[in-house]
Structure 1
Amino acid sequence: MISSEERTALAERIHEALGQVIDPEIHRPITELDMVDTVEVDEDGVASVRVLLTIEGCPMRDRIEKDTAEAAASVPGLTEVRVDTGAMTEEQRRALTARLREGRRAIPFNDPSSLTRVLAISSGKGGVGKSSVTANLAAAMAADGLHVGVLDADIHGFSIPGMFGITAQPTKVSDLLMPPEAYGVKVMSIGMFVPPGQAVVWRGPKMHRAIEQFASDVYWGDLDVLLLDLPPGTGDVAISVAQLLPRAEMVVVTTPQPSAATVAERVGSLAESVEQDVIGVVENMSWLDLPDGTRTELFGSGGGQRVAASLAGHVRHPVPVLGQVPLDPRLREGADEGVPVVIRDPRSAAAAALREIARTLARRPRGLAGRKLSLSVS
């Protein structure tokens, strides 16, 4: 028989232990999110824990129940642990949403205190492999331990969900969206809301609003890097990104052929007009490795260097070629299968090149512009 005082002490220790249970979507302790409704211990040492899920039919229910039971069972002195789940009320969800927003509805990446680097992956034309480069850079950075997100800004030609094998819709908590995650990368795309085969027929203002919502109404958490997969060209979306995320830095993807390089150079004039920086060029499809060990340059050569030199004239500082990615069937196969090549075939030449580009970008420090530093004067 356990006394009332002992039961109270056990319940307190259980609640403390539940602080180690992390919500799989929000990535914060369930105690911090007020998801622990009740913790009780009866005279026989049986603990009953009730957890409130953010929504009815939460897809992470089984995992949360399992993690909660294991954490509670780690407390000595219990004979049994029972976990029950319910759902938050609308009022509780609104309170949670307000807490996650920390009182702000603005785009968090624009806050002076934000250390998230925003990289806009762009190209002058379609068909240069911009989306596959974006997906693989993100997966490579996540594999190296960074907190990474991808915002698919290619509203009309979205392909990022498929490249990560994501088929589920985001979980909605009040008016806040929890981005699905694959290979350690949080992903958000209009493609998660569109039935297969259906086109998105939107004009500029609606696309602008969609990108704004994805930046402000999605709980990204504390990211090291947010990558934006821009549509090709210098149209409405590229201008919207410059307005909505003015701290975004541009990475331009091109191929070696002169025609693609000429088109990619136009990105420089856009960067100049919207005062956005260009930090590097990725040359994709640079060559094909043949079985005899030689290389053939199917699309010519020199396109990356030409684009970099042209962009440097627009932004008035050197623009490096971050890397050259060879043609590799495994890169295409990984995209089709929903597994980035840096995960699927990490030893392939394309994966090696993409990992090195990702590490070069990651070595650039997170910004401190506008951040308040704690100073003391003695």
Structure 2
Amino acid sequence: MITRDSLALGTAYEAPAGEIEKSIAGAFAEVFELDLVGVNDEFFDIGGDSLRGEVLSGLISERTKRDFQISDLIEHTTPRQIARFLGGQSKPAGQTGRPPIFLVHGRLGYTLPKPEFRQAFAGGQELFVFELPGIRGGRAFDRTEDIAAVYVAKLVEHYPQGPILIASFCVGALIALEMAAQLAAKGRPVAQLVLLDPSLPESRPVNVKRELKKKARKKGREPSKLWVNAQLLFHRIGAFANSMMRKNSSADLERFRERLLLKEQRGRAKSPAESIDARARLQLALLQTRPQGFEGPVDLLASPERDPTEPWVRLMPHLRVHKVLQKHSDISTAVGARVMQSIFDAALAAPPPARPERAPSVAASSAG
């Protein structure tokens, strides 16, 4: 057990008042292993992160019998704020008439960026963050198309008309592209798409030729063209064999479950079994996804750690790349948020574009 005094918080302790505040503060104390938590103690100040956010949100929902999603911690970070939110006393976001920004998570199945990310957006900007179905019980899905369909239904219900703005974190780009295709089929095309340093799922290299050359150079030899072509052939044969074997994907699913369980054993916050299963199914779905193309305006925020061209240039003829991130983790900081806001604001301010025949594939920039 850790004492609250040892954290040297800048907030004075105030005891919870009422059953809901006591229940929420107790959930905080249990998750963070603290002797007590005050009603004004901030989630991130006492060591909050994505994994603890997942456990805490589930515990709050269970004890208060009210739905509290992981992403709700973006706007409501103290026991008192959460109690008011669950009691319907919080003011709704989006008071300036701005269209909401719909955020698609990465491989975790949820997104919980730090306060600096939220604070970098314009005042009144609503962020609608999707949460993976099944992560806290209920039905989980094995196909990206089904996950995207759930999100599209939520988007249309929440925002029945107006320009649609979507951003995705990392491998969530595959879900966002599928959503864009489904929305276009419904007559609600995406007005602007932003991909935050996207990648393809683990076990499927973004650029096989580049990876082969990198491995050879690490061993101290310069790969010849003949050697690279031979290795590519072996890779294609192996990929084909794997695709044939994946008709029964139970082994892949079990492998993802075991990997997630191993990570849980190393961490302090423990996710429930249903979360492990839903996230394993998400990773399998992403691995088997064939990326959709997108004909609308799309901007990609890139870091040096990812390849901003493959396969994105081939899928999105009007792609613009902005090399504004120093590292991949910047996607959930103020840097990524400010550039994202400027892109969406510019898209809303611009007149509806005439459909061009085909724009250049990549327009690299050094600033948003």
Q: What TM-score comes out, normalization by structure 2 length?
A: 0.33
Query: Which of 1 and 2 has greater Rg?
Result: 1
Q: What TM-score comes out, normalization by structure 1 length?
A: 0.32
Which has a greater percent of strand? 1
Which has a greater percent of helix? 2
